[in-house]
């Protein structure tokens, strides 16, 4: 795939897959050995990735990812995003709080043989957990 096609795939995934919960793109665009290197644990395989995305939509039914920047070179695309949502369902063992969250992050995606093969994911998980009240926020000294 060309650099422009890789960019378009990321944009389409954010709109259709992340925001609308359409996981059909996983079948057509992700490599069978996909790995997402994320905070806490790796996401290995297409089904694990589907479960990861479903978890966000279960915990935050109004989940939204907004692309802020996108830079592509060769077989890689780096993209910066903002996540928002209201915690209305269980999320990673945390019962619904009704609180809103806003978290920022960056992903570096690698494509191989025209398929989405690997992600390196960094986002403010600590800040998100503090917003949900699962971890105390720091106090001013």
Alpha-carbon span 123 to 45, nearest angstrom: 20
| Cα 29–chain centre separation | 16
Q: Which two tokens stand for residue 42?
A: 């790796």
In a domain, 136, yes or no: no
132 membership: H or E segment, kind and range: none
Per-residue confidence of the chain (141 residues) as pLDDT tens digits? 789 999 999 999 999 999 998 899 888 899 989 999 988 789 999 999 999 999 999 999 999 999 999 999 999 999 999 999 999 999 999 999 999 999 999 999 999 998 999 999 999 999 999 999 999 878 876
In a domain, 139, yes or no: no
Flag whether 61 is in a domain.
yes
93: Cα within 13 Å, side-chain hemisphere: 1
- Enumerate the H helices of the chain as residue ranges: 3-12, 24-29, 46-59, 125-131
Q: Which residues of 105-114 are buried (b: 16+ CB within 10 A; e: fewer)?
A: bebebbbeee
pLDDT score at 141: 67
Intra-chain end-to-end CA distance of the chain, in Å: 52
The pLDDT value recorded for residue 114 is 87
Q: CATH code at 54?
A: 3.10.450.50
Does any domain span residue 141?
no
Domain ranges, residue 35: 3-131
């Amino acid at each position: 795939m060309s650099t422009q096609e890789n960019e378009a795939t990321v944009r389409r995934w954010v709109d259709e897959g992340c925001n609308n919960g359409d996981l059909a793109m996983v079948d057509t665009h992700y490599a069978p050995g996909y790995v997402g290197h994320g905070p806490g644990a790796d996401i290995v395989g297409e089904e694990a990735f589907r479960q990861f995305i479903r978890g966000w939509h279960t915990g935050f039914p109004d989940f939204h990812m907004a692309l802020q920047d996108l830079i592509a070179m060769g077989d890689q695309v780096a993209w910066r995003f903002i996540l928002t949502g209201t915690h209305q369902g269980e999320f990673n063992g945390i019962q619904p709080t009704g609180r809103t969250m806003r978290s920022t992050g960056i992903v570096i995606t690698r494509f191989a043989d025209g398929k989405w093969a690997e992600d390196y994911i960094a986002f403010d998980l600590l800040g998100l957990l503090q917003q949900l009240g699962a971890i105390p926020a720091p106090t001013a000294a």
